[in-house]
Chains A and B, each alone.
Chain A
């Protein structure tokens, strides 16, 4: 196994070499047509990225050269100078220098001395001529340029779509493998069983290898935040110190992609609403500089991304009143909510805490995006807050989208899968444990009244009419017990009455394809070991359906 350092270095190399190729190309374009704005913008961007990457890897000289080049291209873009004169050969020279430095990094050598180049670049930035006026190329250098070798990167870029496909195939393989194992056991043939065991090991390794390929460090996303925080803090006139942690935590690239916007909103929210300005902080006896911490950590099979601020905390009563005023909840419902329930209102559509509309927040969109993104992944959102001390938002995410733990339940001889992330507990209830309130059957679970609903009614009742009012007369006659799966979403629990519980197993969830993808009750389908299709229930959508249809 390669070390993380080695892996990062390879990733850096691949990207840097690509940047280098693109720089050479765009520079040639710019030489042909100095007014080529797209090429200029691209050069500026490439320099900026290379600078950031090089500095993150600790290649100071490379970062410096890229930084000065970025400044130069910025000046050209700002019409302060033109791409003419001694600037042209010097920039070509600088890009070559960057190429040499990148190759040196790849070969594990020291990068060459860059201070002459840096001095010259600095002179140009200051509006002076470079020292060796127009550094004329010696014929030797020109020869070297002309005979330069072309290189291909050691890394292969793979479109994520291909990886998705690969993972799907592995999922299929694992299912067939389970069938073969079952068959081998039934037939009792020793040789077949040995082969099946071997197949089991290989396909297990294969599955993990494919999943591993899709994993990236959370840093890929986290490292984008220093700039975001800086910008928001500047716009809001706040002083913020950002700490990042857990950049090495491995997470599926697609999961990371899906939460990018969500995390952006949470972080902006933290700076904009969580943290106070310096004067308020000092008045409250806190240091003037606010602390914001974004960290990733693993907890069992999940990855937790936390955004923690030491700001003013959530004013629960203010949120409660605001939600009523905005019509997000009724006054009665709001009064009944506990602290956690009120905090969750922050993530309702149309709720925005900022009274003042700013560039960054307060447009009435934002945190609801967070919940949608997390829901779509089958993840969870946790909020913790203490008034005056600060707030922590925790995004609980699956490491991999494809494989998740699920509980299989049976309804009318069909299996349905419920992701474990949303299951709370299973109950086998006698009639004595069930009581009727307002047309709903309820039971007590850990000091809490949980409504019961038949999964069959929820799934198969047609139209938009409310469910029929339930009474104790609907309970099974005699000593029959009801099998209840308690699911939880958004601090709300719901008991689903099913026929029976089958088992717990890891499933590979396939998304529903069009035209059925509009049916949000199902998060997807999975294939069971028997080759049967099994629908995966989407607990958030089921909960919403129940709320809409309860009598």
Chain B
């Protein structure tokens, strides 16, 4: 099965200009990228077990080579899935590494590696303020040469704090107003 080890393809070339290697995947109809050093591996999504008392964008937990990791649907988290498009039955999972845990990001198509000069990544413009809280986690936007589109580069370190990943989407109001999810069972 296409169990591409992302790290293996990360052969570093000495380039005159600083380059960045991204793993690029599709969310909604847009291309998103994560720096390759934050990606542990890319694999076909293993069997996911739904976990009660979690927000809907947490698809559940899965066994990734003995590591039990949470699988997150970023399309749902950022509310990028066009209405009516179903959750894919077959998907890929990017295992991304936070400081002390691993998280699975579910994506619908095979992610691809892209190498580009750092200078192509521009800070996100102010007007990208309309898709939930996504902009909070942006590192910038990379314009590909020859009009090959743009890649929205996510800053995983910001997204991967446990409180951020569990936050319910759709509130652009101050963070204090956003409900902390999930509600822990009340203690008597």
Assess the A522–B51 pair: CB atoms within 8 A.
yes
List the count of A-B residue pairs having beta carbons below 8 Å apart.
80
Q: In the complex, are the beta carbons of A521 and B185 less than 8 A apart?
A: yes
Q: What is the distance, in angstroms, from B166's C-beta to the closest C-beta of chain A?
A: 5
Query: Would you call the interface of chain B mostly helix, strand, loop, or mixed?
Result: loop
Task: Indicate if the CB atoms of A514 and B51 lie closer than 8 Å.
Answer: no
Interface residues of B in 48-102 (CB under 8 A from A): 49, 51-54, 58, 61-63, 66-70, 98, 100-102
Complex Cα–Cα for A531 and B68 (A):
12
Identify which of residues 25-80 in chain A touch chain B, using a CB-to-CB cut-off of 8 Å. none
Docked complex: A520-551 residues within 8 A CB-CB of B: 520-522, 525, 527, 531-535, 541, 544-545, 547-549
Say yes or no: is A286 at the interface (Cβ < 8 Å to chain B). Answer: no
Contact across chains for B187 and A169 when beta carbons are under 8 A apart: no
Answer whether A545 and B66 are a contact pair too, CB < 8 Å, given A516-B51, A519-B51.
no
Bound together, the chains give a CA A480 to CA B66 distance in angstroms of 40
Contact B58 A516 (CB under 8 A): yes
User: Inside 8 A of B166's CB, which chain A residues have their CB?
Assistant: 515, 518
Q: Are the C-beta atoms of B102 and A535 separated by less than 8 Å?
A: no
Is the pair A513, B101 in contact by a Cβ cutoff of 8 Å?
yes
Using Cβ atoms and an 8 Å threshold, which residues of chain A touch B103? 515
Closest A-chain residue to B53, C-beta based? A519
With an 8 A cutoff between CB atoms, is A460 at the interface? yes
Residue among A169, A463, A519 with the most chain B CB within 10 A? A519
A513–B165 alpha-carbon span in the complex (Å): 13
B117 adjacent to chain A (CB < 8 Å): no
A532 and B47 contact, CB distance less than 8 A: yes
Assess the A515–B61 pair: CB atoms within 8 A: no
Instruction: State which of B52, B62, B162 has its C-beta within 8 Å of the C-beta of A518.
Output: B162
Chain B residues lying within 8 Å of A168, measured Cβ to Cβ, are: 66
Q: How far is the CA of A463 from the CA of B162 in the complex (A)?
A: 21
Judge whether B52 and A460 touch: CB under 8 Å.
Answer: yes
Interface string of B160-188 (1 = CB under 8 A from A): 00110110000000000000001111111
Partner of A515, one of B53, B63, B165, B185: B165
Contact A512 B66 (CB under 8 A): no
Question: Which residue from chain A places its CB closest to the CB of B70 in the assembled complex?
Answer: A516
Q: How large is the interface on A (under 10, 10 to 19, 20 to 34, 35 or more residues)?
A: 20 to 34
Determine the distance from Cα of A534 to Cα of B47 in the docked complex, in whole angstroms.
Answer: 12
A464 interface hit (Cβ, 8 Å): yes
Q: Nearest CB to that of A543 among chain B residues?
A: B188
A514 to B183, CA, bound (A): 16
A465 to chain B, nearest CB (A): 11
- CA distance in complex: A535, B52 (Å): 10
In the assembled complex, which residues on chain A have CB atoms less than 8 Å from the CB atom of B187? 544, 548
Please tell me if A104 contacts chain B, counting CB pairs below 8 Å: no
Is there contact, CB below 8 Å, between B47 and A519? no
B160 to chain A, nearest CB (A): 9
How distant is the Cα of A273 from the Cα of B188 in the complex, in angstroms? 27
Q: Which residues of chain B are near A544, meaning CB under 8 Å?
A: 185-188
Q: Is B162 a contact partner of A514 (Cβ separation < 8 A)?
A: yes
Determine how close the nearest CB of chain A comes to the CB of B131; give it in whole angstroms: 22
**What are 5 of the A-B contact pairs (CB < 8 Å)?**
A414-B49, A512-B61, A512-B68, A532-B49, A534-B49
Binding site for B on A (CB under 8 A): 168-169, 172, 414, 459-460, 463-464, 510, 512-522, 525, 527, 531-535, 541, 544-545, 547-549
